[in-house]
Each structure stands twice: as structure tokens, then as C-alpha cells.
Amino acid sequence: MPAAVFSILASCLATACSPSLAPPASDLTTQLPEEFVGSTAPGQHDPSGWWEAFNDPTLNQIVESVLTSNYHLAEAVARVDQARARERIAHSARTLRVQPSAGAEDTSVPTNAGIGAQVDELDQDFGLQLPDRLGLTTYTLSADFSYEVDFWDRNLNEARAVGAERLASEWDYRAARIGVVAETVRTYLEIAYLRRQLELSGEMVEIFREREKLAEFRYDRGLNSARDLYRVRRDLWDAETDLPRVEGRLADAEGRLWVLLGGYRGDLADMLPDSLSPSIALEPVPAGIPADLLAQRPDVGAARQRMEAARHTVGARRAELMPSLSLSGSIGLQNSDFENWFHPDQWFRNLTVNLLGPVFQGSRLRDNVALAENRLHEAIAAYGRTVVAAVNEVEAALIGWETSRRFYVLRKSFAEEAQAEADYQERRYKSGVADYEDFLTASQTFVSANSALAAAARDLGYARLTLHRALGGAWVASGSAVLEPGSSDHASNLQPASLPAD
């Protein structure tokens, strides 16, 4: 038996040199372009705190609040913690398992039954008299142990696969974080736009009311026809009916913002002032090079880690085709006298060595290998598709941002001209050179131009948001602390530690 033990220990030491059956890691073969189409700003992309480009303290406060109270992020952190727990469980399968135990066995049987009856028959030949019952108490203190020699790295590959899935879940957290922040910024820009639209719609209603008064005055004096009066009243009705539509959209946007904040609508007024004025950022965004996406985009990182998990799973399934060697047994002390329980002469041991081979289930195991290999092929294809989609999303976002910027500049120029015309007609009307209708027409054009400009500003903000989201990244301020989930601080439950940086 000692020789067998030494042989097993030698096999355990040889585990470090055991061959790995996992397929070799392979890089994505898709050729990446050297630069993005439509990128006009040189330099490295830095996504940290990009929303601060809007220069709006209220927006910054809301984003910080969302990052500490959003329930969707809390769910994502819980999934990361689950993945970390599964990784620890997978690694525990590679260690020696020891189960200590202590017990007392009290036995009392009649002498005339079982083995006692046979002993009694023998003792009668020698003239011995046994008691009516036989009693024995045995105390045991032992430790059971078991260990599987992972010669083919089955347990190691299982643990590595679970570890890769854990990294993928952390990338998924980043994707959830990007999605929540992006939705928060988008909703905030929508609220700012709708509040501005509500203000401009009110001004337009007042203009049409003045036009209605002027039309009624001219109709009463026979200067306008009934058709002219009806047309003015119809424009007034359209402007008035637009007010509740904007109010309804504003209420919906504010409700969605408070869902992101993890609270209720009644408290939103304390956070949002009456006037929201996010700045317009017209400077170009440096996109870097396409290869940067492999380290920044969370969907690319998650796909890469799931490809790694599938690769190690193939190794684990292939190892199941090989024989497995396990060692189990127990060692301890045993005595019927409690006072001498720990006497060194009372030790006992038992040792079991098992060598199992997959002789009668080879077909099922080979099918498991084929399944794992096909899942690896699927993961490789998904990784390639994700990378190609990421590059094209950035290029489309760059072009979309540039076109939105040019459109905003044109709208701003038109609004400035409309304002100059409105000021000019106001001076002419006050000086008695022009009539009131010319002033109202110029004012109407000015309000319409401001409404179109507000929509262009919103769309430009959306385009910049789409670009930053396409570029991916950490989305946290530089130098900010990384908090561990599970601590007492509520904010820490929304920031997994050790995020992948590869």
C-alpha cells in the first residue's frame, strides 16, 4: 500500500506537466481597416465623463445619481457576483476535499442472538458464563478525504471556462452601464427639447391669437373674406392642440427619467430646474483607430471571453474521453475508552484508489465533444460578427454626427436671420412704417426657426451620444475609485471590481 500511495503522489506531481486538450487560442482573422471612414479629429479617444461636454451641472448630477440608484445596474452587479461565485465553486473541484467527523457508537445486543449466540455455544465448552447482553461503546475522530488527479486538465479547463464566463459577465455589466447612462442622457436631452418646445408652442399660440384678432377686425370691416378668417382660426386651433401633445410627451419622458433614477415622479421637481440648457458641443470627437474597439467595446470584450469559455469547454469535454484517477480514504483515531481516545496507538486508516475509463459511454462523450466544438465555432463567428458590427457602427456614427453638426449650423444661421428680421419688423412697426401683420409674420417665422433649431440641437446631442456609445469605453471619470460589490455602501453595489482591461 505505501508503494501505491507514492505512485499516486507522483501522478499528482506530474499534473503540472500534463497535456492540455483545449484547442489553441486563435486571433480573429477579420482584417480591420487602418482608420475610420469619416474621422476628422486625430488623437486617442477618451470616453471618460463624455457627458460633461454638454456643460450642464444638472445633467452631471443626474448621471451620478443614476449610477448609484439604477435597478438595472443593480441586477447586472448581482449577475457578476453570481458568476464570481460559480468561478470559486469551479476552482474548488481542483483541490483536496477534506471532511472532518467525530462520532460515538453505542452497541447493546442480547447474547443469545446473532454473533453472541455463536460465542455462547463456544464458551459453554469451556465452562464460561456470558452476560445476558453484550454492550460496546466506540469513539471515533476521523477525517475523510478525496482527490481527483487532473492529469488531462478537465477540471482546470472547466474552471477556466467558468472564469471566462465571469469576465464576460463583467463586460456585460459595462454594456449595461453604457446603456443606462446613454438612455439617461438621451432622456434628459429629450426633456430639455420638449420643455423648450412647450415654451415655443405657447409663444406660437399667442401669435396666432393676435392674428385671429387682426383677422376678425379686418373681416368686420370687409377687408378679409370668411375663408381668410377660417384659415387663421384653423392655424390657431392647430397650435393650441399641439400644446397637450407636447405636455404628454414631456410627462412620459420625465417618468422614464425617474425610472432610470430608481424612484418616483413626485421627487423629480427637486432635481430638475425649470430651465434646462445643455450646451451644444460642435468640436469633433477623436475616434482613434479601429483596433481600439477590441479593448473598449464591452460587447466585443464579452464575445471574446465567451469564445475563450467555449475553447476551454472543448478541452474539458475531450478530457472526459480519457481515464480518470481518484484517491479517497479516511484517517483518524478510534477507541472504546473515552479517556484514551487520543492515544497514538489507536489510529486507523483506509485508502481507496479508483481508475475509471469511459469504455461503456464513449459515444455519448464523443457527442459532447462534437457539441462543444460546434459551440466554439459559433462563438468564433459571433466574435467576428461583433467586431465587424462595431467598426461599422462607429463609422456610421461618425458620419451621422458630422451631418447633424452641419444641419445644426444651417438651422442656427437661419434662426439668427429670422431673429434679425423679427427685430427689424418690430422697429418698423413701432415707428409706424410697417403694419402689425408684417410684425406678426416675422415673429411667427422666428418662433418656427427656434423650434427647428431646438430639434436640430436635440438631434445633434443624440448623434454625439450615438458616437460615444459606439466607441465604448469605461464611462467613468479618470482616477475614480473602483468599488467592490457587496459592501455596505449602496454605490459599491453598482461597480464591480477588477473590470477586464485586456
Distance CA 418, CA 463 (A): 26
For residue 219, what is its C-alpha cell?
373681416
Is 106 a domain residue? Answer: no
Which pLDDT score is estimated for 132?
Answer: 67
CB-based contact 420:327 (threshold 8 Å): no
Q: Mean pLDDT lowest for which of 46-60, 231-245, 391-405?
A: 46-60
For residue 431, what is its C-alpha cell?
415707428
Q: Give the pLDDT band of residue 245 (cuts 50, 70, 90).
A: very high
51: exposed, middle or buried (C-beta count within 10 Å: 0-12, 13-18, 19+)?
A: buried
Distance CA 134, CA 341 (A): 21
Break the chain down into helix, strand, coil percent, rounded to 5: 65, 10, 25
Share above pLDDT 70 across residues of the chain, in percent, rounded to a whole number:
76
Tell me which range, 86-90, 279-283, 370-374, 496-500, is most confidently predicted by mean pLDDT.
370-374
> For the chain, how many structural domains are there in total?
1
**The pLDDT of residue 197 is above 90:** yes
Give how far the C-alpha of residue 372 lies from the chain's centroid of Cα atoms, to the nearest Å: 25
Distance CA 111, CA 134 (A): 6
- Full DSSP string of 229-297: HHHHHHHHHHHHHHHHHHHHHHHHHHHHHHHHHTS-GGGHHHHS-S---PPP--SPPP---GGGHHHH-
Distance CA 58, CA 52 (A): 10
**The pLDDT of residue 492 is above 80:** no
For residue 325, what is its C-alpha cell?
484517477
Q: Give the pLDDT band of residue 164 (cuts 50, 70, 90).
A: very high
Q: Mean pLDDT lowest for which of 125-139, 147-161, 212-226?
A: 125-139
Which pLDDT score is estimated for 265?
Answer: 57
**The pLDDT of residue 294 is above 80:** no
Is 241 a domain residue? Answer: no
Domain housing 40: 22-55+75-94+152-183+200-233+274-322+360-486
| Average confidence (pLDDT) over 149-175 | 89
Which pLDDT score is estimated for 128?
Answer: 58
In the numeric block, the cell 465533444 is attached to 369
Is 174 a domain residue? Answer: yes
| Average confidence (pLDDT) over 414-422 | 94
Kindly report, residue by residue over 63-96, the tens digit of the pLDDT.
888 888 889 999 999 999 999 998 888 888 777 7
H/E stretch holding 62 reads helix 57-69
Kindly report, residue by residue over 462-491, the tens digit of the pLDDT.
998 888 888 885 544 333 333 333 333 333
In the numeric block, the cell 445619481 is attached to 65
**The pLDDT of residue 362 is above 70:** no
**The pLDDT of residue 217 is above 90:** no
Which pLDDT score is estimated for 103?
Answer: 78
Q: Give the pLDDT band of residue 295 (cuts 50, 70, 90).
A: confident
Distance CA 68, CA 74 (A): 9
Distance CA 438, CA 455 (A): 26
421: exposed, middle or buried (C-beta count within 10 Å: 0-12, 13-18, 19+)?
A: middle
Q: Which residue has the higher pLDDT, 91 or 267?
A: 91
Q: Give the pLDDT band of residue 437 (cuts 50, 70, 90).
A: confident
| Average confidence (pLDDT) over 390-410 | 90
Rg (CA), the chain: 39
Tell me which range, 24-38, 240-254, 263-277, 427-441, is most confidently predicted by mean pLDDT.
240-254
Where residue 42 falls (left for φ over 0; alpha for ψ -120 to 50; beta otherwise) is beta
For residue 469, what is its C-alpha cell?
456609445
Distance CA 402, CA 203 (A): 32
Q: Give the pLDDT band of residue 17 (cuts 50, 70, 90).
A: very low
In a 3-state reduction of DSSP, which class is residue 174?
helix
Summary mean pLDDT of the chain: 79
CATH number of the domain to which 431 belongs: 1.20.1600.10
Is 450 a domain residue? Answer: yes
Distance CA 411, CA 430 (A): 28
Is 404 a domain residue? Answer: yes
CB-based contact 148:325 (threshold 8 Å): yes
Which pLDDT score is estimated for 499?
Answer: 36
Q: Give the pLDDT band of residue 54 (cuts 50, 70, 90).
A: confident
Which pLDDT score is estimated for 252?
Answer: 93
Give residues with Cβ within 8 angstroms of 4, minimum separation 6.
Answer: 351, 353
**The pLDDT of residue 226 is above 60:** yes
Distance CA 206, CA 190 (A): 24
Other C-beta atoms lying within 10 Å of the C-beta of residue 110? 12
Q: Which residue has the higher pLDDT, 184 or 37?
A: 184
AA identity, residue 147: Y
Which pLDDT score is estimated for 64?
Answer: 87
Is 4 a domain residue? Answer: no
Share above pLDDT 90 across residues of the chain, in percent, rounded to a whole number:
29
Is 264 a domain residue? Answer: no
**The pLDDT of residue 324 is above 90:** no
Is 392 a domain residue? Answer: yes
